A = this chain, B = another copy of it.
């Protein structure tokens, strides 16, 4: 998995900071997560082949998470897109995008398929042979979901030289990749583990923004490889969290610790602070493996 941050600052776009958007590349998919104003420019700037995006996930309908979506849909149209585009987001997103296309008499030539969300429980959004994507219900000022992307385990890989050395017939290869032992012509059994090697461990990524501190998400994101959790505020502004339904860096770190994740990435910073390093400093007091999102930064998962 490769995660590229297009924007990770809260509230309003500014000259050098962009509102929330990221792309996750995994097993041939290119997923767009949130789409603040200016996302299409960020996609161009960081040379993302965005015609490959077929699925867009919108956490909630605050402007800094979706005001770039109408423009991106329009650009897909201008670029002559023909493939289906799936948009997952809160109920209302279809009405909004449809109204804007109607007012501009700019209907898409490609199928635009909305998957409107309203459940307060985790739902499966996409499930194919390579990946399963679920919502992570969050608690913010409006209906909000995070998203959990989990790769599925690949088949075991044949150690082809070993298999040939033991004289295993090719008719057994498919079964062996799926875990069967090998049987030689004389009936001798060769254990599967000697004939195959494990595939790479499937990876998982959870995106949780925007949200107040909420331990209910812990079981859903348990032991994910990478958790992106919003950290709008530092400790000095913790009092603002209850009203604005945002989190501090330390609250994000507490969730990461309880969920036993491998790595925490912080983002959705308020622009009131001089340096984002302060967010890492505060989070590290609680959870050691913290990294900072920043516009244009990529992470291998």
Q: Using a CB–CB distance below 8 Å, which chain A residues touch chain B?
A: 11-15, 37-38, 40-41, 44-45, 60-64, 67-68, 70-71, 74-75, 78, 90, 92-93, 95-96, 99-100, 103-106, 141-142
Residues of B within 8 A of A40 (CB): 12-13, 37
Interchain CB contact (< 8 A) of A11 among B12, B60, B78, B142: B78
Q: List 12 A-B contacts (CB under 8 A).
A: A11-B75, A12-B74, A15-B41, A15-B44, A15-B45, A38-B38, A62-B106, A63-B70, A67-B67, A67-B74, A92-B103, A95-B99
Interchain CB contact (< 8 A) of A38 among B11, B37, B75: B37
Q: Which residue of B lies closest to A39 (CB)?
A: B37
Q: Quick check: B61 and A104 within 8 Å, CB to CB?
A: yes
Q: Which residue of B lies closest to A65 (CB)?
A: B104
Roughly how many angstroms separate A47 CA and B95 CA in the complex, as a whole number?
Answer: 35
Q: Which residue of B lies closest to A75 (CB)?
A: B12
Residues of B within 8 A of A15 (CB): 41, 44-45
Roughly how many angstroms separate A44 CA and B37 CA in the complex, as a whole number?
Answer: 15
Residues of B within 8 A of A95 (CB): 99
Roughly how many angstroms separate A122 CA and B64 CA in the complex, as a whole number?
Answer: 37
Identify the 9 closest CB pairs spanning chains A and B, nearest first: A61-B103, A63-B74, A37-B71, A12-B75, A92-B103, A67-B71, A62-B104, A15-B45, A61-B104
Residues of B within 8 A of A74 (CB): 12, 63-64, 67
Q: Quick check: A63 and B106 within 8 Å, CB to CB?
A: yes
Q: Quick check: A100 and B41 within 8 Å, CB to CB?
A: no
Residues of B within 8 A of A93 (CB): 103
- Taking the closest CB of chain B, its distance from the CB of A248, in whole angstroms, is 20
Roughly how many angstroms separate A162 CA and B70 CA in the complex, as a whole number?
Answer: 63
Q: Which residue of B lies closest to A91 (CB)?
A: B103
- Taking the closest CB of chain B, its distance from the CB of A276, in whole angstroms, is 19
Q: Quick check: B96 and A13 within 8 Å, CB to CB?
A: no
Roughly how many angstroms separate A11 CA and B70 CA in the complex, as a whole number?
Answer: 13
Interchain CB contact (< 8 A) of A67 among B60, B70, B78: B70
